[in-house]
Each structure stands twice: as C-alpha cells, then as structure tokens.
Amino acid sequence: MSARKKVTIVGAGMTGGAIAQRLVEKGYCDVVLQDEPSIVETMHHGKALDLAQSAAWAGFDSAITATDGWEETAGSEVIVFTAGAPRKPGMSREELLNNNAAIVRDKVTNAVRHSPDAVLIIFANPMDAMCHVALGASKFPRERVMGQGGMLDSARYRTFVSRELGVSIRDVHGYVLGGHTDTTMVPIVSATMVGGVPLTSLLPKERVEALVERTMKGGAEVLSLLKTGSAYQAPAAATIQMVEAIVLDQHRLIPCSVYLQGEYGIKDVFCGTIVKLGTGGIQQVYEVPVSEEELSKIRAAAEANKELIGLLEPAKA
C-alpha cells in the first residue's frame, strides 16, 4: 500500500488535467481524477492512463487513477474542485451562480463524506461565492476551505511587473488581495518590492497603474488570445503551490480567499488575504498593512461577494 498522501482533483477539464500532470510529476502524492461520466464520458480515465504511461520517461512513481464515483477518493488530504460550468450566451449572472453552486454543493457533499479530514481548495467561479457554498456544504472550519484566486492573480501581476522592468520574476514580490474578478481584485502596490526596492520608486505612477489594470484584466486577455477556453497552465501552477504547502507542511505565506472573521474590518465573507498554509490547511490568517485606498477596495470586494451570496438559492433538502 502506498505511503504517499492522496490528493483528489474534481473535474478533469483543461485545468484539472494540467494540475494532475504537474502534481503527479512532483512525486510526493498519489492523485485521483474524479469526474462524471455523463459530462466527459471517459475523458478523465483517458487522461489518467495517459499520465500513468508518461511515468516511464518522466520518472515518477506516484499513482494516477480516475474514477466516476467517490470511494476511490477516500482519505484524501487535499481535494481541489475545478468542476463548474462556463457562462453561456444569454445566461444571467444569477443563473451561472446558481448552476455552479449546485455543482459545487453536490460534489463537496460527496467528497467530504469520504474524506472528512480533507482541506478543500475551490477553483470554480465565481470563486469567492463558491467558497461560501463549499463552506456551508462541508460544515468544515474556515481553516480547511479556501479559494485559489489570489495565487493566480498574483502570478499575473508579478509577470507583468517582471516584463516591464526586465528583471527576473523571482525577484518580484507582490500580491493581489480582495476578490477574484476583474473589478474586485486589489494588487497591493504599496507593498510590492522588486529585489528589496519598492515598485513605486522604479516606475512612474502611470506605468504602475497600467500594470494594475492589465493584471485586473489578465484572465480576459488570455481568453481573448486563446479564443476557445480559458487559462489553465498558470492556474495549475498556482494551485500546485497551495497543495504542496499543505501536503508537505511548508508553512508558506501565500494569497488566497479565506472566510474573514474581523480582518480588515470584514466578517463572515470570503475575501483574499495572506495566509500561512501547512498541515491541516490555513494555520494563520494575516491582515496585511495596506494603504487607505487599498483597504477601501478590499472592503468593496467583500461587499460585492456578499451581494453575490445574497443571490444564492437555498440548498435543496
């Protein structure tokens, strides 16, 4: 029997498949791809078999399997939920919200029945609202339910800063807090450092503002270039860092969506901030020093998420 810990990825689309590939090649956990045969038929089984066969040359020993059900996911330490439907032409925001809420609610309920001690990472959109759905469906403490958005948005922010300055992205330290939409995310310019130098001392205000705007529209930019489908490589890489921090108990300080309980003057709603991730999920929540303008935007992001939550239909008995 494998001594490696188990990670389940719910949803085997482009993002789920990319997460599975990056994760299994790390070699520190076994991976289960869970999806519904009525949605993707046998695709998740095909992806798992294809990845398993890559081990001969990629050189990993981790197991990668697929399942239509939930028994095989039992005992997972981390479960990543990527499943969700995209917005279709003519579909209202409320319809998308409640369609995905029903999917997330069902899958979370089934998953936690078999893995009652798991940490949940939510990927489905609208992400902050789906975190709220997952928290309610799982009945877990806030430490074990989180949203991925801040990691992806921060990756885009750091990429644009790195390219603008012509420096290594490894020396760009900046984070995006707040919400995970193109109107609610908050790049924290006041704390962005490049090799220990404040970003605001390296670029004029108008260039910094342009980088912030591009970051906030980062997902739409990739979508417009791909034409079909949305980003999946950067989201996968971002998610892997969260999984790794938990499975390997790394005590990483990273941005993600968490159920705030007084931080920034915000209570009982998911919003992005810096947390410490390790065994058991969120080990500490940090209230980051931000400017007054940034604080106002973070609070506005929380209010926007409260509005979305107000549009959620109650769970069916």
Active site residues: 180
Token code pair at residue 13: 């689309």
Burial of residue 78 (CB within 10 Å: 0-12, 13-18, 19+) is buried
Beta strands in 47-130, from DSSP E residues, in sequence order = 64-67, 78-81, 119-122
Grouping H, G, I as helix, E, B as strand and the rest as coil, residue 167 is coil
DSSP for 183-225 reads TTEEE-GGG-EETTEEGGGTS-HHHHHHHHHHHHTHHHHHHHH
8-state DSSP, 41: T
Chain center to CA of 270: 13
**What is the amino acid identity at position 165?**
L
Instruction: Please list, in sequence order, all residues whose beta carbon lies within 8 angstroms of the beta carbon of residue 228, skipping any fewer than 6 positions away.
Output: none
8 Å CB contact between 120 and 140: yes
H-state helical runs in 119-148: 127-138
Grouping H, G, I as helix, E, B as strand and the rest as coil, residue 255 is strand
